[in-house]
Amino acid sequence: MNKYLIFFCFTALSLSAQKKVAITIDDVPNVWIKEKSDSKFLKLLDSLNIPVAIFINEGHLNKTETFAENLTLLENWIRKPYVTTGNHTFNHLHYSESTLENYKEEVIKGEEQTRRLSGKYRKKLEYFRFPFNDLGANSLQHAQILAFLRSKKYINTPFSVESSDWMFNGLYEHYLKKGDVVSARRIADKYVSHTLEQFSFFEKISEELYGRQISHIYLCHDNRLNTDYLSQITNALQNRNYTFVSLKESLKDKIYDSKDHFKGKWGFSWVYRWIKEPAERSRLMKREPSIAEIEKEFEGMR
Ligand SMILES: [Zn+2]
């Protein structure tokens, strides 16, 4: 084999191994942090220099006494050129436990400041994500709210990978508060390794089901754990040949036009929702890397 051919094969191989992921962050803004005017998470994201989409709960602005400060924090997120904005409802309710009318109000109330600030920074507010990824308890609930979102020109935002970062964060903050840095570190390390395992798992599933790597969408939250450890995850993904793309770019993958066959309320990955047969779906879900020990620890803490 001559050296040009070797070079060609190498390039072709690395191109085919190129993987894409969009990072999405829910429950923004975290108004419970100390450094609101100088958010550590935003500083981290500035340094990572990757696009992110954020899903906002405007109700958070009223959760602490300093509304004006909280609003500035939200604006600091929205003004970042790498940020795409999204509505995550006002109060983060379970849609399956809410009435349609109430939930519509939640969507409308949840976009007031976000729409204004998005406009200020020449951004379009076009993404919506269901809290808990709860699209309703049955097909009627699903259809009703999706029709409403369409009438509001919202895109219902899916995800392919998540790793229960909210649960790890609960434990992480708990141990930090107790001054138990060793346990906090153990939880954080497990979060990083579990997230990377989840990526490996969904890469495998993607290959099995579609014979290729789909463009992924990772769901995580605006919390202390990601402030401290998201960079470890993005670094590792970069080493695995991932490029970080915007939500818009990731959604261009035609896989996201697939039919959602799941009509229940549980908030699992769209990769499972695209599977028609419930038995096949649960067979795959059972193969997912387990965090039973973390779940147990979390329950114990609560
Ligand atoms: Zn949420």
The pLDDT, as a whole number, for residue 294 is: 98
Residue 49's identity, in one-letter code, is N
Domain that includes residue 96, residue range: 18-163+215-273
- CA 13 to centroid of ligand 1, rounded, Å: 38
Does residue 120 fall inside a structural domain?
yes
Does residue 289 fall inside a structural domain?
no
How many domains is the chain built from?
1
- CA 133 to centroid of ligand 1, rounded, Å: 8
Does residue 206 fall inside a structural domain?
no
State the CATH number of the domain containing residue 24. Answer: 3.20.20.370
- CA 130 to centroid of ligand 1, rounded, Å: 7
Preceding amide of 29 cis, omega within 30: yes
- 114-143 per-position pLDDT tens digit: 999 999 999 999 999 999 999 999 999 999
- CA 166 to centroid of ligand 1, rounded, Å: 9
Ligand 1 ion: Cβ-proximal residues, 5 Å cutoff: 26-27, 131
Does residue 196 fall inside a structural domain?
no
Does residue 267 fall inside a structural domain?
yes
- CA 51 to centroid of ligand 1, rounded, Å: 19
Does residue 95 fall inside a structural domain?
yes
- CA 92 to centroid of ligand 1, rounded, Å: 6
pLDDT at residue 268 tops 80: yes
Does residue 243 fall inside a structural domain?
yes
- 61-92 per-position pLDDT tens digit: 999 989 999 999 999 999 999 999 999 999 99
- CA 5 to centroid of ligand 1, rounded, Å: 50
Q: Give the chain's mean pLDDT.
A: 94
The pLDDT, as a whole number, for residue 15 is: 47
- CA 140 to centroid of ligand 1, rounded, Å: 23
DSSP 8-state class, residue 98: S
Does residue 121 fall inside a structural domain?
yes
Interatomic CA distance for residues 197 and 67, integer angstroms: 39
